[in-house]
Chains A and B, each alone.
Chain A
Amino acid sequence: MTRYDQFREWDAAYVLGSLSPDERMRYERHLEGCPGCRAAVAELAGMPALLSKVSAPEVESLERPESTVVDLLPALVSRVARHRRRNRLLVAAALLLALAAAFIVPSAAFPPGERSQTASEALQLTRVNDSPLTVSVRMAEQQWGTRFDLECTYAGGGSYGSADYALFVTAADGSEVEVVTWASSPGQTAWPSGTTSVPASAIQAVEVRQLPSGLVLLRGSP
Protein backbone atom coordinates (compact mmCIF):
# COMPACT_ATOMS: atom_id res chain seq x y z
CA MET A 1 0.00 0.00 0.00
CA THR A 2 1.48 3.35 -0.97
CA ARG A 3 1.32 6.26 1.42
CA TYR A 4 -1.36 7.87 -0.70
CA ASP A 5 -3.55 4.78 -0.51
CA GLN A 6 -3.09 4.55 3.24
CA PHE A 7 -4.39 8.08 3.79
CA ARG A 8 -6.82 8.29 0.90
CA GLU A 9 -9.96 7.79 3.00
CA TRP A 10 -8.93 9.77 6.06
CA ASP A 11 -10.29 13.09 4.82
CA ALA A 12 -13.78 12.87 6.34
CA ALA A 13 -12.59 11.58 9.71
CA TYR A 14 -10.05 14.40 9.77
CA VAL A 15 -12.61 17.08 8.83
CA LEU A 16 -15.09 15.83 11.42
CA GLY A 17 -12.43 15.75 14.13
CA SER A 18 -12.62 12.00 14.71
CA LEU A 19 -8.94 11.08 14.33
CA SER A 20 -6.86 10.48 17.41
CA PRO A 21 -4.26 13.18 18.13
CA ASP A 22 -1.52 10.89 16.89
CA GLU A 23 -3.36 10.05 13.65
CA ARG A 24 -4.16 13.71 13.10
CA MET A 25 -0.47 14.63 13.31
CA ARG A 26 0.51 11.91 10.87
CA TYR A 27 -2.23 12.93 8.46
CA GLU A 28 -1.29 16.60 8.60
CA ARG A 29 2.31 15.71 7.89
CA HIS A 30 1.12 13.69 4.91
CA LEU A 31 -1.05 16.57 3.69
CA GLU A 32 1.99 18.82 3.36
CA GLY A 33 3.32 16.65 0.57
CA CYS A 34 0.05 15.43 -0.99
CA PRO A 35 -1.97 17.83 -3.16
CA GLY A 36 -4.58 15.12 -3.81
CA CYS A 37 -5.45 14.74 -0.13
CA ARG A 38 -5.31 18.50 0.41
CA ALA A 39 -7.90 18.91 -2.35
CA ALA A 40 -10.04 16.17 -0.81
CA VAL A 41 -9.98 17.90 2.57
CA ALA A 42 -10.80 21.24 0.96
CA GLU A 43 -13.86 19.68 -0.71
CA LEU A 44 -15.25 18.52 2.60
CA ALA A 45 -14.20 21.55 4.62
CA GLY A 46 -17.71 23.08 4.48
CA MET A 47 -19.49 19.99 5.76
CA PRO A 48 -19.12 20.54 9.52
CA ALA A 49 -20.75 23.97 9.14
CA LEU A 50 -23.68 22.39 7.28
CA LEU A 51 -24.02 19.56 9.80
CA SER A 52 -24.02 22.12 12.60
CA LYS A 53 -27.28 23.59 11.27
CA VAL A 54 -29.04 20.56 12.74
CA SER A 55 -28.78 19.96 16.47
CA ALA A 56 -27.89 16.60 17.98
CA PRO A 57 -31.37 16.08 19.51
CA GLU A 58 -32.93 16.88 16.14
CA VAL A 59 -30.72 14.29 14.49
CA GLU A 60 -31.67 11.65 17.04
CA SER A 61 -35.36 12.20 16.33
CA LEU A 62 -35.07 11.99 12.56
CA GLU A 63 -37.43 9.60 10.86
CA ARG A 64 -36.45 7.36 8.01
CA PRO A 65 -37.70 8.79 4.73
CA GLU A 66 -39.44 5.52 3.83
CA SER A 67 -41.89 6.25 6.63
CA THR A 68 -42.50 9.74 5.32
CA VAL A 69 -43.39 9.14 1.68
CA VAL A 70 -46.84 10.51 1.10
CA ASP A 71 -49.38 9.84 -1.60
CA LEU A 72 -51.62 12.86 -1.87
CA LEU A 73 -52.44 12.35 -5.53
CA PRO A 74 -55.98 10.94 -5.05
CA ALA A 75 -56.86 13.85 -2.76
CA LEU A 76 -55.36 16.30 -5.25
CA VAL A 77 -57.31 14.88 -8.16
CA SER A 78 -60.59 15.10 -6.28
CA ARG A 79 -59.84 18.67 -5.23
CA VAL A 80 -59.25 19.60 -8.83
CA ALA A 81 -62.50 17.93 -9.85
CA ARG A 82 -64.44 19.77 -7.13
CA HIS A 83 -62.87 23.02 -8.18
CA ARG A 84 -63.89 22.46 -11.79
CA ARG A 85 -67.51 21.74 -10.90
CA ARG A 86 -67.61 24.94 -8.88
CA ASN A 87 -66.04 26.84 -11.76
CA ARG A 88 -68.70 25.61 -14.15
CA LEU A 89 -71.39 26.91 -11.79
CA LEU A 90 -69.59 30.23 -11.49
CA VAL A 91 -69.33 30.55 -15.24
CA ALA A 92 -73.07 29.87 -15.56
CA ALA A 93 -73.86 32.45 -12.90
CA ALA A 94 -71.62 35.02 -14.57
CA LEU A 95 -73.37 34.40 -17.90
CA LEU A 96 -76.78 34.96 -16.30
CA LEU A 97 -75.56 38.18 -14.72
CA ALA A 98 -74.15 39.39 -18.02
CA LEU A 99 -77.46 38.65 -19.73
CA ALA A 100 -79.41 40.44 -17.02
CA ALA A 101 -77.11 43.46 -17.20
CA ALA A 102 -77.76 43.74 -20.93
CA PHE A 103 -81.42 44.41 -20.19
CA ILE A 104 -80.91 46.90 -17.42
CA VAL A 105 -78.14 49.01 -18.85
CA PRO A 106 -79.00 52.27 -17.08
CA SER A 107 -78.46 50.81 -13.65
CA ALA A 108 -75.15 49.42 -14.80
CA ALA A 109 -73.90 52.95 -15.40
CA PHE A 110 -72.71 53.07 -11.83
CA PRO A 111 -69.67 50.96 -11.24
CA PRO A 112 -71.34 47.85 -9.85
CA GLY A 113 -70.85 47.08 -6.24
CA GLU A 114 -68.68 50.04 -5.52
CA ARG A 115 -71.20 51.86 -3.40
CA SER A 116 -73.01 48.91 -1.99
CA GLN A 117 -70.15 46.57 -1.20
CA THR A 118 -69.01 48.30 1.97
CA ALA A 119 -71.08 49.50 4.87
CA SER A 120 -70.51 53.06 5.88
CA GLU A 121 -69.81 53.97 9.43
CA ALA A 122 -71.21 57.01 11.21
CA LEU A 123 -68.55 59.11 12.84
CA GLN A 124 -69.09 60.90 16.14
CA LEU A 125 -67.86 64.49 15.92
CA THR A 126 -67.06 66.61 18.93
CA ARG A 127 -67.44 70.34 18.80
CA VAL A 128 -64.07 72.03 19.15
CA ASN A 129 -65.06 75.62 18.39
CA ASP A 130 -68.46 77.21 18.35
CA SER A 131 -70.18 77.39 15.01
CA PRO A 132 -73.69 77.23 13.57
CA LEU A 133 -72.86 73.94 11.83
CA THR A 134 -74.32 70.55 12.56
CA VAL A 135 -72.42 67.93 10.58
CA SER A 136 -72.90 64.22 10.34
CA VAL A 137 -70.18 62.21 8.65
CA ARG A 138 -70.35 58.70 7.33
CA MET A 139 -67.16 57.06 6.15
CA ALA A 140 -66.95 53.94 4.00
CA GLU A 141 -63.88 51.91 3.35
CA GLN A 142 -63.20 51.24 -0.31
CA GLN A 143 -60.58 49.20 -2.04
CA TRP A 144 -58.98 52.38 -3.27
CA GLY A 145 -59.30 54.51 -0.16
CA THR A 146 -62.07 55.99 1.90
CA ARG A 147 -65.32 57.67 0.91
CA PHE A 148 -66.97 60.36 3.02
CA ASP A 149 -70.63 61.41 2.87
CA LEU A 150 -71.62 64.44 4.87
CA GLU A 151 -74.80 66.19 5.83
CA CYS A 152 -74.12 69.70 6.92
CA THR A 153 -76.87 71.92 8.30
CA TYR A 154 -76.26 75.60 8.92
CA ALA A 155 -78.52 76.90 11.67
CA GLY A 156 -80.62 79.81 10.44
CA GLY A 157 -80.94 83.26 11.92
CA GLY A 158 -77.62 83.38 13.71
CA SER A 159 -75.06 86.07 13.59
CA TYR A 160 -72.81 84.20 11.20
CA GLY A 161 -72.57 84.92 7.53
CA SER A 162 -72.03 82.53 4.64
CA ALA A 163 -68.76 80.69 4.82
CA ASP A 164 -66.65 77.98 3.26
CA TYR A 165 -65.78 74.76 5.03
CA ALA A 166 -63.59 71.76 4.43
CA LEU A 167 -63.25 68.23 5.66
CA PHE A 168 -59.68 67.23 6.51
CA VAL A 169 -58.36 63.81 7.46
CA THR A 170 -55.19 63.15 9.39
CA ALA A 171 -53.41 59.95 8.40
CA ALA A 172 -51.41 57.66 10.64
CA ASP A 173 -48.17 59.26 9.51
CA GLY A 174 -49.42 62.67 10.64
CA SER A 175 -50.05 64.01 7.15
CA GLU A 176 -53.24 65.98 6.55
CA VAL A 177 -55.37 65.76 3.43
CA GLU A 178 -58.27 67.93 2.35
CA VAL A 179 -61.10 65.66 1.23
CA VAL A 180 -63.90 68.03 0.24
CA THR A 181 -64.90 71.68 0.50
CA TRP A 182 -68.30 73.35 0.42
CA ALA A 183 -70.07 76.61 1.13
CA SER A 184 -72.90 77.04 3.59
CA SER A 185 -75.37 79.78 4.26
CA PRO A 186 -77.82 80.21 7.14
CA GLY A 187 -80.80 77.86 6.89
CA GLN A 188 -79.22 75.62 4.28
CA THR A 189 -78.34 71.95 4.28
CA ALA A 190 -75.51 70.64 2.09
CA TRP A 191 -74.58 67.03 1.23
CA PRO A 192 -70.93 67.12 0.28
CA SER A 193 -69.15 63.90 -0.63
CA GLY A 194 -65.51 63.25 -1.19
CA THR A 195 -62.93 60.54 -1.34
CA THR A 196 -59.33 60.14 -0.35
CA SER A 197 -56.70 57.54 -1.12
CA VAL A 198 -55.95 57.28 2.59
CA PRO A 199 -57.25 53.87 3.71
CA ALA A 200 -59.90 53.96 6.43
CA SER A 201 -57.67 51.98 8.74
CA ALA A 202 -54.99 54.68 8.52
CA ILE A 203 -57.25 57.58 9.38
CA GLN A 204 -56.45 58.97 12.80
CA ALA A 205 -58.74 62.01 12.84
CA VAL A 206 -61.41 63.75 10.80
CA GLU A 207 -61.91 67.50 11.13
CA VAL A 208 -64.34 70.04 9.80
CA ARG A 209 -62.51 73.33 9.38
CA GLN A 210 -63.57 76.79 8.49
CA LEU A 211 -61.90 78.30 5.43
CA PRO A 212 -59.71 80.13 4.89
CA SER A 213 -58.81 80.43 8.59
CA GLY A 214 -58.37 76.70 9.07
CA LEU A 215 -60.10 76.95 12.42
CA VAL A 216 -61.16 73.48 13.54
CA LEU A 217 -64.88 73.40 14.30
CA LEU A 218 -65.57 69.71 14.78
CA ARG A 219 -63.31 66.73 15.26
CA GLY A 220 -63.80 62.97 15.42
CA SER A 221 -61.81 59.77 15.30
CA PRO A 222 -62.89 56.52 13.66
Chain B
Amino acid sequence: MTDPQAELLRALHDEHASSLWRYVVWLCGDRDLADDIVQETLLRAWRRPAGLEHPPARAWLFTVARNLVIDEFRSARSRHESRYVEVPERLSADHIDSVLDAWQVADVLSGLSEEHRAVIVYAYYRRESVASIARILEIPEGTVKSRLHYALRAMRLVLQERGVTG
Protein backbone atom coordinates (compact mmCIF):
# COMPACT_ATOMS: atom_id res chain seq x y z
CA MET B 1 0.00 0.00 0.00
CA THR B 2 1.39 3.39 -0.90
CA ASP B 3 1.50 5.91 1.88
CA PRO B 4 -1.27 8.27 0.71
CA GLN B 5 -3.62 5.29 0.36
CA ALA B 6 -2.73 3.98 3.78
CA GLU B 7 -3.24 7.47 5.14
CA LEU B 8 -6.68 7.69 3.51
CA LEU B 9 -7.71 4.37 5.01
CA ARG B 10 -6.52 5.45 8.42
CA ALA B 11 -8.31 8.79 8.13
CA LEU B 12 -11.58 7.12 7.13
CA HIS B 13 -11.22 4.69 10.00
CA ASP B 14 -10.40 7.28 12.62
CA GLU B 15 -13.16 9.62 11.58
CA HIS B 16 -15.99 7.16 11.13
CA ALA B 17 -15.28 3.66 12.46
CA SER B 18 -16.55 4.13 15.99
CA SER B 19 -19.72 5.99 15.16
CA LEU B 20 -20.52 3.60 12.30
CA TRP B 21 -19.94 0.72 14.68
CA ARG B 22 -22.28 2.19 17.28
CA TYR B 23 -24.89 2.82 14.58
CA VAL B 24 -24.75 -0.79 13.38
CA VAL B 25 -24.97 -2.12 16.94
CA TRP B 26 -27.94 0.21 17.47
CA LEU B 27 -29.56 -1.22 14.32
CA CYS B 28 -29.01 -4.91 14.89
CA GLY B 29 -27.56 -5.41 18.38
CA ASP B 30 -24.80 -7.69 17.05
CA ARG B 31 -21.27 -6.54 17.88
CA ASP B 32 -19.47 -9.17 15.81
CA LEU B 33 -21.57 -8.39 12.80
CA ALA B 34 -20.85 -4.71 13.39
CA ASP B 35 -17.09 -5.35 13.08
CA ASP B 36 -17.57 -6.91 9.65
CA ILE B 37 -20.05 -4.36 8.40
CA VAL B 38 -17.93 -1.39 9.43
CA GLN B 39 -14.83 -2.87 7.77
CA GLU B 40 -16.72 -3.48 4.56
CA THR B 41 -18.26 0.01 4.63
CA LEU B 42 -14.88 1.67 5.10
CA LEU B 43 -13.28 -0.45 2.37
CA ARG B 44 -16.01 0.61 -0.03
CA ALA B 45 -15.45 4.23 0.88
CA TRP B 46 -11.72 3.76 0.43
CA ARG B 47 -12.11 2.12 -2.99
CA ARG B 48 -14.68 4.63 -4.17
CA PRO B 49 -13.98 5.42 -7.79
CA ALA B 50 -12.49 8.79 -8.54
CA GLY B 51 -15.13 11.28 -9.58
CA LEU B 52 -17.34 10.55 -6.65
CA GLU B 53 -17.15 12.94 -3.78
CA HIS B 54 -13.99 12.50 -1.71
CA PRO B 55 -14.10 12.07 1.16
CA PRO B 56 -17.56 10.54 1.00
CA ALA B 57 -20.33 12.25 2.90
CA ARG B 58 -21.07 10.80 6.29
CA ALA B 59 -24.63 10.11 5.19
CA TRP B 60 -23.31 7.92 2.37
CA LEU B 61 -21.36 5.77 4.83
CA PHE B 62 -24.38 5.30 7.05
CA THR B 63 -26.51 4.30 4.08
CA VAL B 64 -23.93 1.76 2.91
CA ALA B 65 -23.64 0.30 6.40
CA ARG B 66 -27.38 0.02 6.81
CA ASN B 67 -27.79 -1.67 3.43
CA LEU B 68 -25.07 -4.17 4.32
CA VAL B 69 -26.88 -4.99 7.54
CA ILE B 70 -30.11 -5.56 5.62
CA ASP B 71 -28.28 -7.78 3.11
CA GLU B 72 -26.85 -9.78 5.98
CA PHE B 73 -30.26 -10.35 7.52
CA ARG B 74 -31.78 -11.30 4.18
CA SER B 75 -29.14 -13.89 3.41
CA ALA B 76 -29.16 -15.20 6.98
CA ARG B 77 -32.90 -15.63 6.72
CA SER B 78 -32.54 -17.55 3.49
CA ARG B 79 -29.98 -19.79 5.23
CA HIS B 80 -32.54 -20.23 8.03
CA GLU B 81 -30.11 -19.10 10.67
CA SER B 82 -31.98 -19.01 13.92
CA ARG B 83 -30.16 -16.02 15.39
CA TYR B 84 -31.53 -13.78 12.66
CA VAL B 85 -35.06 -15.10 12.49
CA GLU B 86 -36.45 -11.84 13.75
CA VAL B 87 -35.46 -8.75 11.86
CA PRO B 88 -34.84 -5.97 14.37
CA GLU B 89 -37.55 -3.35 14.40
CA ARG B 90 -35.07 -0.61 13.62
CA LEU B 91 -34.19 -2.33 10.35
CA SER B 92 -37.71 -2.94 9.19
CA ALA B 93 -38.84 0.58 10.01
CA ASP B 94 -40.29 2.48 7.10
CA HIS B 95 -38.76 5.71 8.25
CA ILE B 96 -35.09 5.26 7.52
CA ASP B 97 -34.26 8.87 8.17
CA SER B 98 -35.98 8.95 11.52
CA VAL B 99 -34.14 5.80 12.64
CA LEU B 100 -30.86 7.48 11.76
CA ASP B 101 -31.96 10.67 13.52
CA ALA B 102 -32.98 8.70 16.60
CA TRP B 103 -29.59 7.06 16.70
CA GLN B 104 -27.87 10.43 16.31
CA VAL B 105 -29.84 11.81 19.25
CA ALA B 106 -29.02 8.76 21.38
CA ASP B 107 -25.37 8.91 20.35
CA VAL B 108 -24.98 12.60 21.09
CA LEU B 109 -26.75 12.14 24.40
CA SER B 110 -24.43 9.34 25.43
CA GLY B 111 -21.46 11.49 24.46
CA LEU B 112 -22.41 14.36 26.77
CA SER B 113 -20.56 14.84 30.03
CA GLU B 114 -22.05 12.84 32.89
CA GLU B 115 -23.38 16.03 34.55
CA HIS B 116 -25.08 17.25 31.40
CA ARG B 117 -26.50 13.88 30.48
CA ALA B 118 -27.94 13.33 33.95
CA VAL B 119 -29.98 16.54 34.02
CA ILE B 120 -31.44 15.92 30.57
CA VAL B 121 -32.34 12.34 31.40
CA TYR B 122 -34.02 13.40 34.65
CA ALA B 123 -35.79 16.42 33.17
CA TYR B 124 -37.00 15.02 29.87
CA TYR B 125 -37.06 11.21 30.07
CA ARG B 126 -38.06 10.88 33.73
CA ARG B 127 -40.21 14.01 33.81
CA GLU B 128 -38.66 15.28 37.04
CA SER B 129 -39.05 18.94 38.00
CA VAL B 130 -36.11 21.24 38.61
CA ALA B 131 -36.85 21.06 42.32
CA SER B 132 -36.78 17.27 42.49
CA ILE B 133 -33.66 17.03 40.30
CA ALA B 134 -31.99 19.42 42.74
CA ARG B 135 -32.94 17.13 45.62
CA ILE B 136 -31.81 13.95 43.81
CA LEU B 137 -28.46 15.34 42.71
CA GLU B 138 -28.04 17.42 45.89
CA ILE B 139 -27.31 20.63 44.01
CA PRO B 140 -29.06 24.05 44.08
CA GLU B 141 -32.03 24.55 41.76
CA GLY B 142 -30.17 27.35 40.02
CA THR B 143 -27.40 24.87 39.16
CA VAL B 144 -29.96 22.46 37.69
CA LYS B 145 -31.35 25.20 35.44
CA SER B 146 -27.85 26.27 34.48
CA ARG B 147 -26.77 22.71 33.62
CA LEU B 148 -29.92 22.17 31.57
CA HIS B 149 -29.25 25.40 29.72
CA TYR B 150 -25.70 24.40 28.75
CA ALA B 151 -26.47 20.72 28.21
CA LEU B 152 -29.34 21.28 25.82
CA ARG B 153 -27.34 23.89 23.90
CA ALA B 154 -24.38 21.52 23.63
CA MET B 155 -26.65 18.79 22.30
CA ARG B 156 -28.25 21.10 19.80
CA LEU B 157 -24.86 22.24 18.53
CA VAL B 158 -23.50 18.70 18.01
CA LEU B 159 -26.73 17.56 16.35
CA GLN B 160 -26.56 20.53 13.99
CA GLU B 161 -22.99 19.60 13.09
CA ARG B 162 -24.27 16.13 12.26
CA GLY B 163 -27.01 17.56 10.10
CA VAL B 164 -29.85 16.82 12.53
CA THR B 165 -31.99 19.87 13.12
CA GLY B 166 -35.06 20.15 15.22
Contact = CB atoms under 8 A, between A and B. Distances in A.
Nearest to B166: A46
A20 B166 contact: no
A62 interface: yes
B21 A68 contact: yes
B106 A10 contact: no
A84 B150 CA distance: 50
B145 interface: yes
Contacts, number: 138
Contacts of B109: 51, 54, 59, 62
B67 interface: no
> How large, as a class, is the contact surface on chain A?
35 or more
B129 A70 contact: no
Nearest to A68: B22
> What's the dominant secondary structure at chain B's contact region?
helix
A39 to B, nearest CB: 13
Choose among B10, B110, B165 the residue with the greatest number of A CB atoms under 10 Å from its CB: B110
A76 B39 contact: yes
Contacts of B75: none
A16 B71 CA distance: 40
Nearest to B164: A50
Interface string A47-64: 111110110101110111
Interface stretch (B48-56, B58-66, B80-88, B97-105): B97-105
Contacts of A17: 123, 127
A55 to B, nearest CB: 8
A68 B25 contact: yes
Given A13-B149, A53-B101, A65-B107, A76 B9 contact: yes
B142 to A, nearest CB: 8
28 contacts: A9-B142, A10-B145, A12-B123, A12-B152, A16-B124, A16-B152, A19-B129, A19-B130, A43-B156, A44-B156, A45-B166, A46-B156, A47-B166, A49-B166, A51-B124, A53-B98, A60-B125, A62-B106, A68-B22, A72-B13, A75-B35, A76-B39, A77-B6, A77-B9, A79-B43, A80-B1, A80-B43, A80-B46
Interface of A: 8-13, 15-20, 23, 43-51, 53-54, 56, 58-60, 62-65, 68-73, 75-77, 79-81, 84
Interface of B: 1, 6, 9-10, 13-14, 17-18, 21-22, 25, 35, 38-39, 42-43, 46, 98, 101-102, 105-107, 109-111, 120-121, 123-131, 133, 142, 144-146, 148-153, 155-156, 159, 164-166
